[in-house]
Structure 1
């Protein structure tokens, strides 16, 4: 099967699950054209995605494919944020960076945050009690909860947190944004990090940014622009996944009202429900890009050395070969080996935090508003036009 579907189109989300289903059946290694005449590949079956994400034959470091960036580019705003990011490097640099952050994000450390996350959720829900008519669950709950949590971990001042939503949305939507808008927001983000890093150097605090600065000063742990890249990644990844988990999860429950009633009647199902929400409308739709380090034959097609390869997380999580009735939400599903947080060495570092935030959010939300309903037709809701992520633009709801 050959198809001309543009997977980077803003309209792609409207029928992407059907598109993925056709790919899994007929074209599990799907090629598409990139700018400059290069070839990209979209991998859609569960087992193939597992192999791709764990294989050392697919690398993250673009410089190994296209050569090192110029000295001028190395000091650009984009370089400060994107180059040397843990997501975009291979071992041994990836191993070093991940080892640096792992202690702060292990499950035991995350559980210590539970009382504070509960306080934040309670405060947000109390504010929502006084709202009349419909309100946007994304704006009022799904976004502020994780952005407050990650900001407090990092040590970002309260008055600055609202800036991250605009910057984050522009940067993760880079392919749909005008270059000038993208460059403007990247510049603003870097300037803010300049300020924040300078302030923490002068006034150390008990927060992650101070810890990262200390690691940089030791010399052998953080190098070059890695400090900027790490803070940027923590801010973006630290809230985007949970925003989408809460929004997408509530949307899925609205799509399956019997499952919503089941969860309300038995809050003990929350943990398995969270896993099923992560599978059903995965907050991260696809993996970040990898490049083939050698010629590889997959399903009769040759992926050439240097070709870009993307794994479809959403497709893998609905693979009929792996999941029974994958098109249905089942909050009691066990086992549930979804790949919403990736697989292999790049498995999401913040998964324990996202799971904890999601669990607290749904327990609190459904207890506070047991009669919550969508305000309008679900079919009218729109997905953000971001290829990498899956999230709603808004989710208007009524408390009763």
Structure 2
């Protein structure tokens, strides 16, 4: 088909600003408008691939590049597009790079996120989870599982992984909350610069951080200080946030059901985590891509230089591939929540491990826990990222299984 014969993607509405709501209904509704839609964002236009088959094709299409040097100038609003900052000439991140540069960055990260470390990580995560659950067991009333468990677990573990000492971790969570979820654009912009500046000071002073990812990078002669700052800042924002969301959603799906319908075996827990990723993805859309030429997808034209996103939520719920909107663990439905191909999330095995340990540890310790009957579950989200911000529960007494 010639460009003149291709369809023009229609406009769709999506929640592009953080708000105290769950974005999934609106994201899925936009996905029903057309296989490819456009969404207005910060004064520009973005193309969003919604059809499940086209979404998978887009994730693997070399013409849709993640090189942040291709990001249009209007996307450089601080706090608006985190993956495209700083400018490419300062440093590129793994998630927003291509070719040899992406291979180099991924190789350096892989030294920390290697599969052989999963056993070691499992032991540490189990111990951290046990300590948090011991603290929870001292409470007899209603507790917020987000504040007491689903965020502290990945934050503590990831902070250890990158070398952030305990006294700095509360500030890390506070600034990432501001950057990702604040409805105040100025505050988000200030948070981006503030976090990068803080990481730069940590790296420069040398003795602030514990041994870990940052100190390992600083020891690499091929890695610049700007790269250390950029990569660490990105990992702090993404490394525990999406995992905390996954853990909270998995537990929410369990606690809204009677104990007899909750997962018990390791296999059931693994299936539960996968189904949570499919139905309740922490990131409803994949991170940005840019068309390096005119691209035809399903008869629609995505013009050269267009910013492109892939609607993972719609792709995950395709009724021809999966159970659709139903939560049915173990039915064999696949999901693309961690992406596909060369940009498949390097931290996916770790996120799955954390979620399995968190879910299994909690349900073993508190098999009769239930959602609060008086306080509501609360969400925060936009079209890029979402989380449960409050998960009030009651730790009903009962013997651990």
1:57 to 51, 60, 63: 63
Check conservation: 2:16, 2:41, Cα contact below 8 A. no
2:384 to 363, 371, 388: 388
Question: Which residues of 2 match residues 127-142 of structure 1 at below 5 A?
Answer: 127-142=135-150
Aligned to 1:332: 330
2:49 to 16, 22, 43: 43
Check conservation: 2:37, 2:49, Cα contact below 8 A. yes
Q: Counterparts of 2:209 and 2:68 in 1: how far apart (Å)?
A: 35
Q: Counterparts of 2:179 and 2:337 in 1: how far apart (Å)?
A: 21
Aligned to 1:208: 213
Change (3 A) 1:28 1:12: farther
TM (normalized to structure 1)?
0.86
SS state of the match for residue 184, structure 2? coil
Check conservation: 1:289, 1:309, Cα contact below 8 A. yes
Aligned to 1:362: 359
Aligned to 1:125: 133
Aligned to 2:349: 352
What's the CA shift for 1:398?
0.6
Check conservation: 2:283, 2:384, Cα contact below 8 A. yes
Q: Counterparts of 2:24 and 2:268 in 1: how far apart (Å)?
A: 29
Aligned to 1:239: 240
SS state of the match for residue 40, structure 1? strand
Are residue 263 (structure 1) and residue 262 (structure 2) matched? yes
What's the CA shift for 1:306?
1.2
What's the CA shift for 1:98?
0.1
What's the CA shift for 1:30?
0.8
Aligned to 1:319: 318
CA deviations on 1:240-290 (whole Å, 9 max, x unpaired) are 1210111111222244x15x5233554541111111111110112111111
What's the CA shift for 1:49?
1.3
What's the CA shift for 1:178?
2.5
What's the CA shift for 1:134?
0.8
Q: Counterparts of 2:210 and 2:45 in 1: how far apart (Å)?
A: 47
What's the CA shift for 1:143?
0.5
Question: Which residues of 2 match residues 168-317 of structure 1 at below 5 A?
Answer: 168-173=176-181, 176-179=183-186, 181-200=187-206, 206-215=211-220, 218-219=221-222, 222-223=223-224, 225-255=226-256, 257=257, 261-317=260-316
TM (normalized to structure 2)?
0.86
SS state of the match for residue 79, structure 1? coil
Q: Counterparts of 1:12 and 1:279 in 2: how far apart (Å)?
A: 22
What's the CA shift for 1:87?
1.2
Instruction: Say which is worse superposed, 203-212 or 151-160, in terms of deviation.
Output: 203-212
Check conservation: 1:372, 1:399, Cα contact below 8 A. yes
Number of residue pairs aligned between Structure 1 and Structure 2? 378
The runs of 5 or more residues in structure 1 that have no matched partner are 71-77
Q: Counterparts of 1:80 and 1:399 in 2: how far apart (Å)?
A: 48
Q: Counterparts of 2:133 and 2:20 in 1: how far apart (Å)?
A: 34
Q: Counterparts of 2:246 and 2:349 in 1: how far apart (Å)?
A: 13
Change (3 A) 1:13 1:48: farther
The alignment's C-alpha RMSD in Å is 2.7
1:31 to 22, 38, 49: 38
Aligned to 2:82: none
What's the CA shift for 1:66?
4.0
Change (3 A) 1:347 1:15: closer
What's the CA shift for 1:159?
0.6
What's the CA shift for 1:192?
2.0
